[in-house]
Amino acid sequence: MLLLDIRNLTIELRSGGNSIKAVERVNLSIKEGEVHGLVGESGSGKSLIAKAIVGVLNQRWKVTADRMHWRGQDLFRLSRKKRRQILSNEIAMIYQEPSRCLDPTSTILEQLLESIPSDQLDGNLWDRKKQRQARAVALLHKVGIKDHDQCLQSYPHQLSEGYCQKIMIAMAVAKKPDLLIADEPTTALESTTRAQILRVLKGLNQLKNTSILLISHDLETLSDWTHTVSVLYCGQMVESGSTEQIFNRPHHPYTQALINSVPDFHMELAHKSRLFALEGSIPTLQHLPIGCRLGPRCPYAQRECVKTPTAHKDHNHSYSCHYPIDYSQEQR
């Protein structure tokens, strides 16, 4: 069964009289036990989608969707309270800047303790207190922090970004969520810590069958362990499918450009591709092109592209482009 099923998610920024569609008609679905990658340049709206799922966008944003189902239940139709309950019990989110997600004025211990749900404990008040302490230490061990005593007594500003990220993961897994949304969990980290964090996440998926929505701006992070990948450009979902499909046979010019910009893939795909990097940069929200938002940067763009392309579906592989890359001739 689909864990999360989102159809035509649109996120608008209300500014003055008009509103800007920062994210336009995005589809996203995640199966149970699946690791789904969401990739796109920074500013393409990945964090917005994640925040819209967990419902933490403020009044300035207007979120609409034809469907936002969590295990078959439409989240938009539930009361605020019920929705909050589901979100806080079953979905956990790790925000992009971990050190900013920890309260600067309370210790790691306090923050870790309060993220342990009380229904996982039993016994009287004293027992519960001890169990909580033990759980906190166990959680730290689970995410690879060994000097737990020192860590627990610290304030966030005394710890490095990597430590904060691990603590965020520890807090997120404390309630044993079904879906973990990790917004660029490794971006600010150096490579050894990055590998550790990815290992922790991978372990969570394999041992606990936790689904993960892994957000990244970097295709390389996703290549070896996601099951499915969605590629986002400037608030539009350009392509999504299984990891092999996306990496081996990208149909969308943008996906292809992304893959070619990674040196490793570049080597084997060199003879097929003409472009290594797209000209220009991602447009700002104030200057969005009409129709296909890749238009001004796309080497294949034609007149048709001023109309927004609809999604083509080919098995589980979908792509939104008027002139997708065709692999049929090559095969002949």
Partner 1 sequence: MIHYVLRRLFLLLFVLFSLSVLTFSLSFLFPGDPLNNLSGYQEITVNQLAILERKYKIESDYFTQYIAFLRRVFSGDLGISFNSQAPVFEQVNRIFPATVELAVYSLLVSIIIGIPLGIISAYYHRRLPDTVILTTTLVGYSLPVFWWALLIIFTFSLHFGWFPSSGRIGLVYEVPHISGFILVDILRSDIIYKYEALKNALMHMALPTLVLTTYPTTVLIRYTRGSMLNVLETNYIKTARAKGLSPFQVLLHHGLRNALLPVIRLIGLQFSSLITLAMITEVIFSWPGVGRWLIESIYQRDYPAIQGGLLAIATFVIIVTITSDILYKWFNPVSRTQVDGKF
Does residue 176 touch partner 1 according to CB under 8 A? no
253 part of the interface to ligand SF4, by CB under 6 A: yes
- Report 249-308 residues binding partner 1 (CB under 8 A): none
Give the residue, chosen from 9, 22, 102, 258, that forms a contact with partner 1 under the rule CB under 8 A: 102
* CB closer to partner 1 out of 171 and 231: 171
Residue 168 found at the interface with partner 1 (CB under 8 A): yes
CA distances to 98, 163, 233, 238, 300 from 94, rounded to whole Å, are: 7, 13, 22, 25, 37
CB of 186: closest distance to Mg ion in angstroms? 13
Asked if 210 touches partner 1 (CB under 8 A), the answer is: no
- Contact region for ligand ADP (CB under 6 A) — 38-46, 189-197, 257-265, 323-331? 38-46
Q: Is 187 in the site for Mg ion (CB under 5 A)?
A: no
Binding partner of residue 101 among ligand ADP, Mg ion, partner 1, none, CB under 5 to 8 Å per kind?
Answer: partner 1
Provide the mask over 289-318, with x wherever binding to ligand SF4 is found by CB under 6 A and - wherever it is not. ---x-xx--x-xx---x---x---------
Provide the minimum distance between the beta carbon of 42 and Mg ion in the complex, in angstroms, as a whole number. Answer: 6
Q: Per CB under 6 A, does 322 bind ligand SF4?
A: yes
Considering the rule CB under 6 A, would residue 22 count as an interface residue with ligand ADP? yes
Segment near ligand ADP (CB under 6 A); pick from 36-44, 168-176, 203-211, 312-320: 36-44
Q: Is 47 in the site for ligand ADP (CB under 6 A)?
A: yes
Q: What is the largest CA-CA distance in the chain?
A: 73
Q: Cβ–Cβ contacts within 10 Å for residue 111, how many? A: 20
Work out whether 48 is an interface residue with ligand SF4 (CB under 6 A): no
Q: What is the 3-state secondary structure (H, E, C) of the chain?
A: CEEEEEEEEEEEEEECCEEEEEEEEEEEEEECCCEEEEECCCCCCHHHHHHHHHCCCCCCEEEECCEEEECCEEHHHCCHHHHHHHHHHHEEEECCCHHHHCCCCCCHHHHHHHCCCHHHCCCCHHHHHHHHHHHHHHHHHHCCCCCHHHHHHCCHHHCCHHHHHHHHHHHHHCCCCCEEEEECCCCCCCHHHHHHHHHHHHHHHHHHCCEEEEEECCHHHHHCCCCEEEEEECCEEEEEEEHHHHHHCCCCHHHHHHHHHCHHHHHHHHHHCCCCCCCCCCCCHHHCCCCCCCHHHCCCCCHHHHCCCCCEEECCEEECCCCCCCCHHHHC
52: contact with partner 1 by CB under 8 A = no
Query: In this structure, how many other beta carbons lie within 10 angstroms of the beta carbon of residue 144?
Result: 16
Build a one-symbol-per-residue string for 262-291: x at contacts with ligand ADP by CB under 6 A, - elsewhere.
-----------------------x------
- Binding at 47: pick from ligand SF4, partner 1, ligand ADP, none (beta carbon under 5-8 Å per type): ligand ADP
Partner from Mg ion, partner 1, ligand ADP, none contacting 285, C-beta within 5 to 8 A by type: ligand ADP
Amino acid at position 265, single letter: F
Q: Rounded CA gap, 97 and 296, in Å?
A: 32
Smallest separation (angstroms) from ligand ADP to the CB of 285? 5
If contact means CB under 5 to 8 A according to the sort of partner, which of ligand ADP, Mg ion, ligand SF4, none does residue 298 touch?
ligand SF4
- Give residues in contact with ligand ADP (CB under 6 A): 13, 22, 40, 42-48, 285
